[in-house]
């Protein structure tokens, strides 16, 4: 089994020292929130699982939204430092140290799962497939999962994944380990093989990421009005999700999947 390359293993020395890209994180959170709001089931669920604490550790995160969607939300992550960073922001989060490939929960524990860019940080496709099987196991029949992964159909993601991580890190292209990921059609196939019913697929985060992150770093030092205008421009790129080319421009493939009721 591949060693778990948690994205947050490197965060304390990178995101903190680089100001944690606050403006970019605000945009990323906004896109993820919009996806969850669009695909959320009707009514408040009992229990919800979020498969990492990345968003809550380095930005505003999804916690306020998820708390409104479920009576109980459990967050997992394999890195102790990440739990500490997230709880500095949200002291009441219910967090558990766990690996998504080996979840410490009984079958059918959760009504819903939110897994945004968690499963694309492993070295092996087998780990990704094993994680999908674990998520299926802990989801109740009739439950829903919202999942996003790095989109291998995006030319920039494809090129990035062809290059060695130490090289990318030296160039400061990525501050954390990036692992294997999938194209939309293969992800759909693996989800079905894991037992999920795929309800809907999409692509999100369409702005040119490298350029946007670079500009965002500069805009952070400008007026609040300029920052808001910049965020509106980034959000406007999400209209590309309506085009047939969305899986070429989106940085993440997004899936809404359910576990069939018995």
Packing angle of the helix pair 224-236, 209-219 (nearest 10 deg): 170
pLDDT at 81: 87
Q: Write the burial class of residue 239 (CB in 10 Å: 0-12 exposed, 13-18 middle, 19+ buried).
A: exposed
- CA distances for 73 relative to 60, 89, 111, 119, 185, angstroms: 16, 16, 10, 19, 30
**CA angle, residues 50, 55, 58, in degrees to nearest 5:** 145
Looking at residue 162, its pLDDT comes to 75
| Domain boundaries along the sequence of the chain | 7-258
**pLDDT tens digits, one per residue of 133-143:** 999 999 999 99
Q: What is the pTM of this model?
A: 0.89
CATH class of 7-258: alpha beta
- What mean pLDDT is predicted for residues 202-209? 95
**For the segment 7-52, what is each residue's pLDDT rounded down to a tens digit?**
444 444 455 444 457 899 999 999 999 999 999 887 889 999 999 9
Contact yes or no for 75/61 (Cβ under 8 A): no
Q: What is the pLDDT of residue 117?
A: 92
Task: Give the C-alpha separation, 9 to 78, whole Å.
Answer: 9
Structure tokens at 122: 């492993």
């Amino acid at each position: 089994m591949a060693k778990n390359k948690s994205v947050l293993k490197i965060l304390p020395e990178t995101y903190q020292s680089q100001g944690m890209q606050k403006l970019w994180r605000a945009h990323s959170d906004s896109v993820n929130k919009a996806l969850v709001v669009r695909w959320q089931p009707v009514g408040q669920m009992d229990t919800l699982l979020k498969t990492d604490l990345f968003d809550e550790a380095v930005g505003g995160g999804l916690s306020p939204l998820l708390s409104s969607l479920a009576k109980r939300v459990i967050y997992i992550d394999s890195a102790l430092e990440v739990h500490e960073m997230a709880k500095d922001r949200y002291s009441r989060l219910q967090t558990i140290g766990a690996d998504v490939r080996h979840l410490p929960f009984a079958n059918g524990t959760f009504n819903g799962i939110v897994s945004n860019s968690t499963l694309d940080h492993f070295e092996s496709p087998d780990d990704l497939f094993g994680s999908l099987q674990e998520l299926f196991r802990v989801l109740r029949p009739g439950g829903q999962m919202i999942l996003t992964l790095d989109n291998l159909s995006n030319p920039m993601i494809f090129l990035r994944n062809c290059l060695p991580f130490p090289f990318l890190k030296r160039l400061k292209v990525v501050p954390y380990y990036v692992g294997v990921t999938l194209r939309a059609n293969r992800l759909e196939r693996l989800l079905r093989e894991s037992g999920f019913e795929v309800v809907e697929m999409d692509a999100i985060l369409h702005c040119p990421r490298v350029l946007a992150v670079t500009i965002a770093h500069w805009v952070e030092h400008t007026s609040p009005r300029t920052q808001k205008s910049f965020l509106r421009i980034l959000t406007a790129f999400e209209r590309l999700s309506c085009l047939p080319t969305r899986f070429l421009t989106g940085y993440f493939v997004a899936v809404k999947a359910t576990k069939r009721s018995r």
